[in-house]
Chain A
Amino acid sequence: MIRLERVTKIYPGSAFPAVDSVSLEVAEGQICMLIGSSGCGKTTIMRMINRLTSITSGTIHIGDQNVMDMDPIQLRRQIGYVIQQIGLFPHMTVYDNIATVPKLLWWDKKRIAERVDELLDLVNLDPDTYRFRYPRELSGGQAQRVGVARAMAADPPVMLMDEPFGAIDPINREVLQEEFLRIQARLRKTIVFVTHDIDEAIKMGDKIALLDAGRLIQFGSPEELLTKPKNQFVKDFVGADRTLKRLNLLRVKHAMLRNPVHCLEEDPSEKVAEKMIEQDMSYLLVTDRQGRLKGYVNLYDLRGHKGTVGDVVRPLSLTVKPDTNLKDALSKMLSYDLGIVVAVDDAGRLQGFLNTRTLFSVVGESYDERGGHWGRITADGRIL
Chain B
Amino acid sequence: MSTPFSVLQQSLPYLLQGVWVTLVVVLGSLSLGLLVGLPLAVGQVYGPRPLKRIIGLYVWFFRGIPLLVLLFLFYFGLFPFLHLDFSAFTVAIIVLGSISSAYQSQILRGAILSIPEGQMKAARAIGMSDAQAIVHIILPQALRLAIPGWSNEYSVLLKDSAVTYALGVAELMARAHHVASRTYQHLVLYLCAGFIFMILTFLGTRALNALHRKVKLKGYS
Contacts and interface: CB of A to CB of B under 8 A. Distances in A.
Interface string B121-136: 1111111110010000
- Which bucket holds chain B's interface residue count? 20 to 34
A76 B127 contact: yes
Contacts of B122: 81, 83, 87-89
Given A83-B122, A87-B121, A101 B127 contact: yes
B119 A89 contact: yes
A83 B121 contact: yes
Nearest to A150: B126
Given A76-B127, A81-B126, A90 B217 contact: yes
B141 A73 contact: no
Contacts of B140: 91
Main secondary structure of the interface of B (DSSP, over half): helix
Contact of A135 (B118, B126, B128, B219): B219
B217 A73 contact: no
Interface string B198-218: 000000000000000000011
Contacts of A81: 122, 125-126
B177 interface: no
A83 B118 contact: yes
Nearest to A82: B125
A177 interface: no
A90 B123 CA distance: 12
A136 B220 CA distance: 7
Contacts of A73: 127-129
B144 interface: yes
Interface string A99-142: 01100100000000000000000000000000001111100000
B137 interface: yes
A85 B127 contact: no
Contacts of B118: 83-85, 87
Nearest to B137: A89
Nearest to A77: B127
Interface residues of A, number: 27
A162 to B, nearest CB: 8
A291 B218 CA distance: 58
Given A134-B218, A136-B217, A83 B127 contact: no
Interface string B95-130: 000000000000000000000001101111111110
Contacts of B119: 87, 89
A151 B126 CA distance: 7
Contacts of B141: 89-91
A100 B161 CA distance: 43
Contacts of A185: none
A100 B126 contact: yes
Interface string A59-78: 00000000000000111110
B211 to A, nearest CB: 15
A136 B124 contact: no
Contacts of B217: 90-91, 134, 136
A158 to B, nearest CB: 13
Contacts of B129: 73
8 contacts: A76-B124, A77-B127, A85-B118, A87-B125, A89-B119, A104-B128, A134-B217, A136-B220
Give 9 closest A-B pairs by Cβ, nearest first. A136-B219, A87-B122, A77-B127, A76-B127, A81-B125, A134-B218, A137-B219, A83-B122, A91-B140
